């Protein structure tokens, strides 16, 4: 899969699945806008890409802030004048019982994991339509497909991303924009590493493949949906979970 002459924007590009996705697109020839709130780590992603002779630049964007999103849209419009692929990979969560969720925690989870993609898509959709073959890949979670104990609000937000994907796909197909969704299971990322050792071990035992997913493996699924090989696929949800969630 090649993305030569394609312009790609990835949210959450400073680490984890977002960083792996940026690296993969750049390695396949894409020009990548790495966006995140963490400028230092975002610059590290860009440096990795440039060290491998790829093309990338960092844009600070807070997906929860409409003004920040609008500013990023202006920069992409001015510098690239087009956008071919949008990947919504920014996300955040902690695992705790629902009754312990604070109002601030719930607001942040919904703002980042659901309304973030909504705001970014709303801002960048005109550029994707103008490209003539835009691709949107939303990164949700298997928690949004089948539920997850200790992640009720997060699962609800990610379930919203799945529904957003399907509904938007129906609207923009006539504009030749494809919208699909990747749902990772437990993946070896810095965010996952913040979980307790007991929780991490339990999840690994539950996965039929007996290991965590790699961020690069999720990126492979994202690149497939963004590629011409998925030209007749839209509104679909793909689980990348090592067999953990085979139904739902």
| The pLDDT of residue 87 is above 90 | yes
Closest CA to 93 of 6, 164, 152: 152
Expressed as residue numbers, the domain containing 153 is 7-184+217-240
Determine the pLDDT at residue 84. 98
User: Is residue 125 assigned to a domain?
Assistant: yes
User: Is residue 210 assigned to a domain?
Assistant: no
Rg (alpha carbons) of the chain, rounded to whole number: 17
| The pLDDT of residue 248 is above 60 | no
Structural tokens at position 155 = 């699962």
User: Is residue 195 assigned to a domain?
Assistant: no
Contacts of 171 (CB under 8 A, 6+ apart): none
User: Is residue 58 assigned to a domain?
Assistant: yes
| pLDDT interval class at 246 (50, 70, 90) | confident
User: Is residue 1 assigned to a domain?
Assistant: no
pLDDT per residue over 66-75, tens digit each? 999 999 999 9
Q: Is 105 a catalytic residue?
A: no
What sign results for the dihedral spanned by CA atoms 104, 137, 192, 56? negative
- Count of domains observed in the chain: 1
User: Is residue 209 assigned to a domain?
Assistant: no
Local structure of residue 112 (DSSP, 8 states):
I
| Rounded-to-integer distance, Cα 110 and Cα 153, Å | 7
Instruction: With H, G, I as helix, E, B as strand and everything else as coil, classify residue 78.
Output: helix
User: Is residue 70 assigned to a domain?
Assistant: yes
User: Is residue 189 assigned to a domain?
Assistant: no
What is the rounded average pLDDT of the residues 109-127? 98
Name the active-site residue from 154, 184, 186, 212: 154
Q: What is the CATH number of the domain that holds 129?
A: 3.40.50.720
| pLDDT interval class at 126 (50, 70, 90) | very high
Measured between alpha carbons, how far is residue 105 from residues 67, 80, 221 in Å? 22, 36, 30
pTM passes above 0.75:
yes
Q: Which residue has the higher pLDDT, 149 or 97?
A: 97
Local structure of residue 114 (DSSP, 8 states):
I
| Rounded-to-integer distance, Cα 73 and Cα 165, Å | 21
Closest CA to 138 of 198, 181, 173: 181
Determine the pLDDT at residue 86. 98
């Amino acid at each position: 899969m090649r993305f030569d002459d394609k312009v790609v924007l990835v949210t959450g590009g400073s680490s984890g699945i977002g960083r792996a996705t940026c690296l993969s697109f750049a390695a396949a020839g894409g020009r990548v806008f790495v966006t995140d709130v963490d400028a230092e780590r975002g610059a590290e992603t860009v440096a990795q890409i440039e060290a491998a002779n790829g093309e990338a630049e960092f844009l600070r964007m807070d997906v929860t802030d409409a003004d920040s999103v609008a500013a990023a849209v202006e920069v992409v419009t001015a510098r690239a004048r087009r956008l071919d692929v949008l990947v919504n990979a920014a996300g955040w969560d902690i695992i705790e019982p629902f009754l312990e969720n604070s109002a601030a925690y719930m607001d942040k989870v919904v703002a980042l994991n659901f309304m973030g993609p909504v705001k970014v898509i709303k801002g960048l959709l005109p550029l994707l339509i103008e490209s003539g073959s835009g691709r949107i890949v939303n990164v949700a979670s298997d928690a949004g497909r089948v539920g997850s104990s200790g992640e009720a609000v997060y699962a609800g937000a990610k379930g919203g991303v799945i529904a957003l994907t399907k509904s938007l796909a129906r609207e923009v197909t006539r504009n030749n924009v494809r919208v699909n969704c990747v749902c990772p299971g437990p993946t070896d990322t810095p965010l996952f590493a913040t979980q307790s050792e007991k929780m991490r071990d339990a999840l690994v035992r539950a996965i039929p493949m007996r290991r965590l997913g790699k961020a690069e493996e999720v990126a492979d699924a994202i690149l497939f949906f963004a590629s011409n090989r998925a030209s007749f696929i839209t509104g679909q949800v793909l689980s990348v979970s090592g067999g953990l969630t085979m139904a739902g």
